[in-house]
Amino acid sequence: MDELSLQWTPVHGPMRKLVFEPQPDGEYAWARIEFELCESQWREVGFEYLEELSFVSDDGEGTSLPHARTYFEGGEGDV
């Protein structure tokens, strides 16, 4: 699966973007990276690993996105 992105322009402040990148070889399934537009270039302002990513429609139906990853047992999951 390719990365997914969501981009928007808030009422106040610079344009923003969320990018969800699959992590097929990592401990977690996805990475969420947050950007804001600063002088015509995207600047990273946040990063988080995700165990699962899903979308929910207006009718309440959820869809989990498929991913291939290795599950690690034991130890802390902090990065």
Compare 8 and 1 and report the one with higher pLDDT: 8
Residue 24 in domain:
yes
Residue 67 in domain:
no
Residue 41 in domain:
yes
The number of folded domains in the chain is 1
pLDDT at 76 exceeding the cut of 50: no
Residue 64 in domain:
no
Cα–Cα distance, 12 to 20 (Å, whole number): 24
Residue 27 in domain:
yes
Residue 72 in domain:
no
Residue 62 in domain:
no
**Which H or E run contains 58?**
none
Residue 71 in domain:
no
**Tokens found for residue 33:** 């990276």
Structural domain harbouring 8: 4-50
**Model pLDDT for residues 25-68, shown as the tens digit of each residue:** 989 999 999 999 999 999 999 999 999 988 777 776 666 666 54
**Tokens found for residue 76:** 């802390």
φ/ψ of residue 4, rounded to 5 = -120, 145
